[in-house]
């Protein structure tokens, strides 16, 4: 029997996902040795808690609370970072790459912010920086874009890529819950943090969308230059109206290209109930894309969690093992994540779609004529308008659906509409996605 090649792994972060990685490596170790000829050994582990370190059973494993000790350890072949954080882990990644290690990470915030430096560094060192677990958890979307769809132009991508937001919106749709109640339930179940802003304001989704856009078009997309809107202002009325029209409201990441320029953004969107993405509910994630040769594709699954994320981490380890056996350490170009190769971006103002507008007005004659007059002046055609009953005459909901129009025209019109003395609250906007 052929002797298995040992690949020594160093793990920083032994929380839920880190423990999952160790468990799966132990569970499937005999299979990897037999079928792949590889023995993955946890040679170094880093955690703040001694209890977590004690769960690593290998007596020869370096156990430390210092991430740099793992990054610089001479007997580690692959550095795995599962600690999280935008800035703190960057020196660890740099040290690991410069010392000749491959890197596997689940840290989308780090890559979105510092990927333009880290990916070129990996390329310079002829080492891999893999991140399957950073986008979509257990969904194999990164390798799909890098390898399986390499012969395709991606004509457009839409994704539900944050489980917290998807759970909240699903609860509001299924149970008629308010946003506040649905958020509280998500927090009770552990689907949302005590401070949920990073999720519900769309930043988590934005980081992932920027990485996907960079992969799709082979140019660096800076998330800081993209438009983002969260779900704080989505109301039970909006959800009810969507349901009556045959739509689901989702927090959507959308990516497209026009004339060589990239349009990427995150915003609440109306999806027709028949759209493949509309069925992605609860804490699940989904990625929908249109490929020039393969056609429409939907990838869905758990976007977070112990074993789904650990599964993605180990898929990267296995990919590294296979490359080692073939003598090709870098399977795809990474240097295009460089500031020297930054994508030219289109503003969300250039987006053309239909709009759902929810105005809050006072109950007075002439209100609707003022509003429709402004919309008409900006070339915005109305396809439906309704006034909803409300006990408070100072806060009457008015729902307007537009025909296809540029985002810029709607934004300009709403500045004037929201300034009217008969409009008692900012107008809420939800875009349609077709």
CATH for 399 = 3.30.70.260
- Domain span at residue 402 reads 351-433
Catalytic residue list contains 208: yes
Flag whether 74 is in a domain. Answer: yes
Is the residue at 26 inside a domain? yes
Same domain, 116 and 237: no
Same domain, 134 and 145: no
Whether residue 346 is contained in a domain is answered as no
Distance CA 127, CA 166 (A): 36
> Is residue 396 domain-shared with residue 326, that is, in the same domain?
no
328, 359: one domain: no
At residue 394, the pLDDT reads 78
Report the CATH number that the domain containing residue 200 is assigned in CATH.
3.30.360.10
Quick one: how far is CA 381 from the chain centroid? 33
Catalytic residue among 63, 101, 113, 208: 208
Q: Is 286 in the same domain as 218? A: yes
Query: Rounded distance, CA 292 to CA 409, Å?
Result: 31
- Same domain, residue pair 69 and 198: no
Residues 191 and 118 in one domain: no
Q: What's the pLDDT at 333?
A: 61
| Same-domain check for residues 158 and 206 | yes
Which stretch of DSSP H or E encloses residue 300? strand 295-302
Answer yes or no: is 55 within a domain: yes
Looking up residue 63, the CATH number of its domain turns out to be: 3.40.50.720
* Domain end call among 341, 362, 395: 341
Same domain, 145 and 278: yes
Strand partners, 156: 256, 290
In a domain, 263, yes or no: yes
Q: In terms of domains, do 15 and 74 share one?
A: yes
Q: Is residue 83 domain-resident?
A: yes
Who contacts 101 (Cβ-Cβ below 8 Å, separation ≥6)?
10, 71, 76, 77, 78, 79, 127
Q: Are residues 172 and 297 in the same domain?
A: yes
pLDDT at 1: 47
Mean pLDDT by 10 residues, the chain (434 residues): 82 95 95 92 94 89 96 96 94 97 96 94 92 95 91 95 97 96 96 94 97 93 97 96 97 95 98 96 97 96 94 95 69 72 96 97 91 97 88 86 98 97 95 94
User: How far is Cα 33 from Cα 66, in angstroms, rounded to an integer?
Assistant: 30
Residue 79 lies in a domain: yes
Please report whether residue 429 resides in a domain: yes
Q: For residues 247 and 267, what is the distance between their CA atoms, to the nearest angstrom?
A: 15
> Of 283, 316, 341, which one is at a domain's C-terminal end?
341
- Say how many domains are in the chain: 3
Residues 73 and 125 in one domain: yes
């Amino acid at each position: 029997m052929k002797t298995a090649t040992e690949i020594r792994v160093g793990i920083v972060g032994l929380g839920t996902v880190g423990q999952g990685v160790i468990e799966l490596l132990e569970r499937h170790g005999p299979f990897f040795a037999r079928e792949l000829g590889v023995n993955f050994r946890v040679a170094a582990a880093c955690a703040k808690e001694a209890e977590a370190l004690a769960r690593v059973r290998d007596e020869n494993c370096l156990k430390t609370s210092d991430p740099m000790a793992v990054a610089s350890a001479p007997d580690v072949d692959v550095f795995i970072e599962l600690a999280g954080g935008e800035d703190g882990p960057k020196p660890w990644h740099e040290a690991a790459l410069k010392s000749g290690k491959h890197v596997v990470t689940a840290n989308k915030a780090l890559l979105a912010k510092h990927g333009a430096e880290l990916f070129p560094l990996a390329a310079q060192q002829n080492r891999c920086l893999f991140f399957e677990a950073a986008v979509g958890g257990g969904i194999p979307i990164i390798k799909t874009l890098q390898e399986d769809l390499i012969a395709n132009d991606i004509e457009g991508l839409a994704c539900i890529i944050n489980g917290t937001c998807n759970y909240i919106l699903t609860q509001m749709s299924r149970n008629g819950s308010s946003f506040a109640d649905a958020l509280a339930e998500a927090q009770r179940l552990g689907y949302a943090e005590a401070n949920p802003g990073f999720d519900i304001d769309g930043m988590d989704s934005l980081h992932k969308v920027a990485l996907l856009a960079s992969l799709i078009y082979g140019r660096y997309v800076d998330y800081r230059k993209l438009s983002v809107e969260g779900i704080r202002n989505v109301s039970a009325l909006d959800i009810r109206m969507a349901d009556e029209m045959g739509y689901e409201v989702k927090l959507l990441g959308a990516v497209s290209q026009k004339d060589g320029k990239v349009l990427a953004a995150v915003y609440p969107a109306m999806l027709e109930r028949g759209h493949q993405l509309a069925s992605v509910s609860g804490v699940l994630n989904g990625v929908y894309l249109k490929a020039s040769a393969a056609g429409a594709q939907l990838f869905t699954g758990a976007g977070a969690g112990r074993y789904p994320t650990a599964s993605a981490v180990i898929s990267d380890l296995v990919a590294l093992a296979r490359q080692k056996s073939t003598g090709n350490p870098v399977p795809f170009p990474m240097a295009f994540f460089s500031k020297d190769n930054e994508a030219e971006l289109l503003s969300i103002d250039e987006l053309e779609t239909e709009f759902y507008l929810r105005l809050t007005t006072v109950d007075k004659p002439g209100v609707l004529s003022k509003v429709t007059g402004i919309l008409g002046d900006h070339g915005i055609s109305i396809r439906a308008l309704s006034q909803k009953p409300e006990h408070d005459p100072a806060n009457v909901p008015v729902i307007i659906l537009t025909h296809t129009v540029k985002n810029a025209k709607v934004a300009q019109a709403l500045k004037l509409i929201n300034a009217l003395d008969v409009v008692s609250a900012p107008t809420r906007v939800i875009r349609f996605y077709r």
